[in-house]
Structure 1
Amino acid sequence: MVEKITSYLKKYFSNGPKFIFMSVSIILIALTVLIFSTRKTITVSVDGQDKQITTFSRTYKKALSNNNIVVGPKDKTTPSLDSRVEEGKKISIKRAVKVHVEADGKQVTIESAEQNVEKMLQAEGIGLQDFDKVYPAKDLAIKDGLKVVITRVETKEVKENKKIDYTTVVKKDDEMEQGKNKVIQEGQLGEKETVTKVIYENGKEVSRKVITEIIKKQPVQKVVAMGTLSTYTPSRGGKVAYTKSMRMRATAYTADYESTGKSPGNAGFGITATGTVAKRNSNSYSSIAVDPRVIPLGTKLYVDGYGYAVAEDTGGAIKGNKIDLFFNSSSEADNWGVRWVNVYVVK
């Protein structure tokens, strides 16, 4: 610029003192203008603290360096350091702070000048999946010494086929001796398909929940018959199956006149109330008289000490908890006398 001015002066003015004076004056003016045109005053804000500096530098990077203002590699500036310096403008510097990050089984300390936790993680290339947990909150402003913990959350759906246990139903069977049982129907396992949502945090299972369940095969219940029939073993041997037992007063009678008021030749002689011929059969069922209100006629019984009997007859004196046992002869009836016996209703 100065050379152009000098060349211009030589062209229009002759050499001499006048020329020299004018040349020097113009050069000084030009230098003064140049200096003032490149001199700029700017504001530098460091973490909110402002100060003004004067600079002749073209970029903020050079201006800060010339004023011994160091910008760290993780510090953030607005505008950028490579921006052109403009008179009266402001450059803001946010100093990076140390943040401790725990993620993926590692603990690292990083420097960051980002606005909050989320932007810090993004800047450091620490990715987050949809369900990952971040503590503290992602919108929290970072500060020196802050600890950030990232919990990796993974969700899986597990499909399984499972067996369904069958139930066992017990049915009473009064045709079967007590203490015995019989399988009427075998049980069969069912099958179901379940889908379970399993949640893992940092690789460890923390919860599981069944979200769908489809029955593919219904179970078949097992049916067992359980005997309810009681048994009695007489002293003479054998086994008597019965449904009910009673303690009764037992007398004895025959077909003769003393017992029935009828004599041989009488149409009703030896005939029971049910129309059968009274009998005594030690190897089978004998006839006995009962109170039908207590023991229905036709009921088969076992009388302890007497044997098997059937309720075929009635009697005027046989009321309530009494029975009258038939014998073929008066001597047998007299020998029996009157006894308290156990009477079993035979099945």
Structure 2
Amino acid sequence: MVEDMMINKIKKTLYKILIISGIFFGSHVLFVDAKELDFGGAQKNIQLNDNGVVYETTTNSQTVSDFIKEHKIEIFEKDVVLPEKNEKIFSGTNIIILRAKKLSIKEGGDVKTIYTFRNTVEEAIWENRDIKFDEDDISKPVRNSNIKGGETIVITHVLIKEETKNLDIDFKTISNEDDSLGWRVKKVTKKGEKGQKEIKYKVVYNDGKEISRKILESNIVKEPVNEVVTQGTMVKVGKVHTGAASWYAWTGTLAAANPWLPMGSYVRVTNKANGKQVIVKINDRGPFGPGRIIDLDKVAFAQIASVGAGVIDVKMEVITN
């Protein structure tokens, strides 16, 4: 009887030991979550990941917030702490701090501040839905640049589109002569018409300002029609004079001075040495030297001789039509 009582007492003691040791009766393991146990101010091993930099440390703090204060870790408004600050910590807890990167975004004439946990310019911009950033848009720094925080990112909105314009094609003027028409007659015998071509451009705009225009194709819609101008060449002459011709700078036109012909009359002057001719209008008096019959304006003289010649032998015909 006493032996039975002793055996039962030993069993009860062993049972308690097994329970405390985490072993359930029947050789089954009983796992207990450390978070269910309160170790109070016991020292704990903690791993801190501060924005990718990992530290191994110990602490007596009971919450994440206490740990941050104990180690004097500066947390900014937009930073994220995991677990949350009011969570209890235990030995083996991993505390992660994600540092928000502050960026200035310059878009057009506006500048805005954003915060991001992303690593590249493109990721940071796309994360913010208030910023439009299409495939053709340009950023400075470039899209795949890594960001550390504090940078100013300039966004240029690029618009690429095709434009079509119709442009006029100028016609050419063709001159011909008609000896049946008086020398003063000049008329359009065939009216010219402008042509038209269609041009397709690739146009690039940066923030609404055109920066390039490239022709993709050009097609003539209508060919231009050349204009024909006919100049009369028939000259009727009266009295013929021969003598010397000199020159002087006067009006810079096809004009000349003569001692006796009526003002406003016309004469045809021929250089006897080369046969070149020019028609001039008498608008001045002179020359009065011996043997000289006409003083040509420098412009007119240059059409029939070198001005370096000074004086040449000419035939002067009075024009009657």
TM-score range, shorter chain: 0.5 to 0.7
1:168 counterpart residue number = 173
Does the residue aligned with 1:129 lie in a helix, a strand or coil?
A: coil
Q: Are 2:143 and 1:110 aligned?
A: no
Q: TM-score normalized by structure 1?
A: 0.51
Q: Residue 101 of structure 1 contacts residue 107 of structure 1 at CA under 8 Å; is this kept in 2?
A: yes
- The equivalent position to 1:131 in structure 2, one of 132, 136, 160, is 136
Does the residue aligned with 2:65 lie in a helix, a strand or coil?
A: helix
Whichever residue aligns with residue 201 of structure 1, its letter is N
Percent identity of equivalent pairs: 27
Instruction: Tell me the distance in 2 between the aligned counterparts of 1:67 and 1:221.
Output: 92
Structure 1 residues 191, 51: CA separation in 2 closer, same or farther (over 3 Å shift)? same
2:237 counterpart residue number = 232
Whichever residue aligns with residue 108 of structure 1, its letter is K
Q: Residue 197 of structure 1 contacts residue 208 of structure 1 at CA under 8 Å; is this kept in 2?
A: yes
Q: Residue 168 of structure 1 contacts residue 223 of structure 1 at CA under 8 Å; is this kept in 2?
A: yes
Matches within 5 A, 1:313-328: none
Q: Are 2:206 and 1:201 aligned?
A: yes
- The equivalent position to 2:185 in structure 1, one of 177, 180, 184, is 180
Whichever residue aligns with residue 99 of structure 1, its letter is L
Q: TM-score normalized by structure 2?
A: 0.55
The CA deviation at 1:34 is 5.7
Structure 1 residues 123, 86: CA separation in 2 closer, same or farther (over 3 Å shift)? farther
2:64 counterpart residue number = 64
1:324 counterpart residue number = none
Q: Are 2:156 and 1:151 aligned?
A: yes
Q: How many residues align?
A: 230
Q: Residue 46 of structure 1 contacts residue 94 of structure 1 at CA under 8 Å; is this kept in 2?
A: yes
2:49 counterpart residue number = 45
The CA deviation at 1:71 is 6.1
Instruction: Tell me the distance in 1 between the aligned counterparts of 2:122 and 2:16.
Output: 63
Does the residue aligned with 1:67 lie in a helix, a strand or coil?
A: helix
Q: Residue 79 of structure 2 contacts residue 97 of structure 2 at CA under 8 Å; is this kept in 1?
A: yes
Instruction: Tell me the distance in 2 between the aligned counterparts of 1:183 and 1:107.
Output: 64
Does the residue aligned with 1:44 lie in a helix, a strand or coil?
A: strand
Q: Residue 231 of structure 1 contacts residue 242 of structure 1 at CA under 8 Å; is this kept in 2?
A: no
The CA deviation at 1:99 is 0.7
Structure 1 residues 91, 178: CA separation in 2 closer, same or farther (over 3 Å shift)? farther
Structure 1 residues 342, 21: CA separation in 2 closer, same or farther (over 3 Å shift)? closer
The CA deviation at 1:55 is 8.3
Q: Are 2:195 and 1:190 aligned?
A: yes
1:210 counterpart residue number = 215
CA RMSD of aligned residues (A): 4.8
- The equivalent position to 2:97 in structure 1, one of 89, 93, 100, is 93
Structure 1: runs of 5 or more not aligned = 1-11, 58-62, 236-240, 248-339
The CA deviation at 1:28 is 6.8
Structure 1 residues 23, 177: CA separation in 2 closer, same or farther (over 3 Å shift)? same
Q: Residue 229 of structure 1 contacts residue 243 of structure 1 at CA under 8 Å; is this kept in 2?
A: no
The CA deviation at 1:97 is 2.4
The CA deviation at 1:166 is 1.0
Whichever residue aligns with residue 64 of structure 1, its letter is V
Which is greater in Rg? 1
Q: Residue 44 of structure 1 contacts residue 53 of structure 1 at CA under 8 Å; is this kept in 2?
A: no
